[in-house]
Structure 1
């Protein structure tokens, strides 16, 4: 029987966040920490909650602090309990949470549900530290299959790496012996060498071992890295003396991305694709965390 990795349940969620006050207290702690004194008068007494507004007030000089200011909750009229429940649903969904599904859960308009999910994706703060060790590089193309389009909507010359009707994305994966590999992914205007190489040099430590397919944009990386190549065009997906030259880790990540888009979101516009990539990177990098909800809420602190 499969263990439930996400141990944060709806019962715990309701106990911690029963109303808007509990949600606001959490936001205040994350955005202002354990505030020991008033920034205006220096009073060391704790701030008191103003019941009629989403703010806290100094007991001495009455200086007010609005915890939701400059956050994804700024000026929202939607109850904070709705926001927190949306974040909970967002983190427990396996392949993504669509705006239509959130609309049904909360009873809000589609426009409100779409905006809430967009703000939640903006909140995500992924780990983009410099990568080292064994690294996989690969590009993918997000968009519908040409064969599934109606005859008058088919796009000519769109096979293979052509991205006339698709959006190219680029991924970098850092392997880990413990099985907790980490990935970074970007939307890119194209997959040319002058576009991909600066991202590699910016995010991968010089001297690392990088694994790629035979795409010519990776040519020349062997000057600064140990470059291993597997020739997908020849049916070669694993090579090397120790069978360590492959990009299967990133291929797995791309399959998760495409399953999520095809299964939950159906269609993603190029305008918002970078936010969806942030979401899938967050899901992948936190796949073994027992409380993904708190991982996302804690992004408010940064």
Structure 2
């Protein structure tokens, strides 16, 4: 799950074979995330939320491509995160993801996008905002979204290293990134973890 170009060079494999195997590993990571992921945050925990745009800006003809909006969150205390492709940034869409991915009792920090206004009326969450046009950190409450901004940077950098992501494969790429973040947060060996996940996804045949 490194760059396609690196694998082609170091393993002397052709492009299509490398892409196929990268996609196989994305499937393994996606299966792991779908199997084990639970809601993040909870009482006495803080989750930062934000949206960002992902896409290759141009195709091989130079034509501008449509962008995909991703909504994400990260827990400051555990470093657990979620990343979800969303069709828009309306209050209904974002609140649905928040309730599905964040535990009640969580303190949520965001920018001042109007769609987050519903959080102030939801008794299940405490909500603080920061006005990025004025400060990176709110001078009164200390609210900031630096953790989620850092997460976007890591995610997009890795995406570029892998030559960008085709729209049809974006969900599986995001699952791989979340899997890596989960493994890092748990402080376990990623190589041993991926071997375990491969065995779960493709269990050995009983005939062997």
Aligned residues: 190
Shift of 1:273: 0.9
Q: Could you say which residue in structure 2 is the equivalent of 1:64?
A: none
Q: Could you say which residue in structure 1 is the equivalent of 2:106?
A: 208
Q: Could you say which residue in structure 2 is the equivalent of 1:130?
A: 39
> Highest Rg: 1 or 2?
1
Structure 1 residue 297 corresponds to structure 2 residue 195: yes
Q: Deviations over 1:227-265 (max 9, x none)?
A: 101111x2322126452x111111001000111122x12
Q: Could you say which residue in structure 2 is the equivalent of 1:19?
A: none
Q: Could you say which residue in structure 1 is the equivalent of 2:138?
A: 239
Normalising by structure 1, what TM-score?
0.57
Shift of 1:203: 1.5
Shift of 1:206: 2.2
For structure 2, which runs of at least 5 residues remain unmatched after alignment?
A: 202-208
Q: Could you say which residue in structure 2 is the equivalent of 1:83?
A: none
Cα RMSD over matched residues? 2.5
Q: Could you say which residue in structure 2 is the equivalent of 1:189?
A: 87
For structure 1, which runs of at least 5 residues remain unmatched after alignment?
A: 1-89, 91-96, 156-163
- Tell me the distance in 2 between the aligned counterparts of 1:120 and 1:137: 28
- The correspondence of residues 54-65 of structure 1 with structure 2, limited to 5 A, is none
Larger deviation, residues 212-221 vs 281-290: 281-290
C-alpha distance 109-266 of structure 1, shift in aligned 2 (>3 A): closer
Q: Higher relative contact order by CA 8 Å / sep ≥ 6: 1 or 2?
A: 2
Q: Deviations over 1:60-107 (max 9, x none)?
A: xxxxxxxxxxxxxxxxxxxxxxxxxxxxxx3xxxxxx12232233333
Normalising by structure 2, what TM-score?
0.80
Q: Could you say which residue in structure 1 is the equivalent of 2:172?
A: 275
Question: Do the aligned partners of 1:134 and 1:175 also contact (CA within 8 Å) in 2?
Answer: yes
- Tell me the distance in 2 between the aligned counterparts of 1:208 and 1:287: 22
Q: Which protein is richer in helix relative to its size?
A: 2
Question: Do the aligned partners of 2:128 and 2:141 also contact (CA within 8 Å) in 1?
Answer: no
- Tell me the distance in 2 between the aligned counterparts of 1:298 and 1:215: 41
C-alpha distance 290-237 of structure 1, shift in aligned 2 (>3 A): same
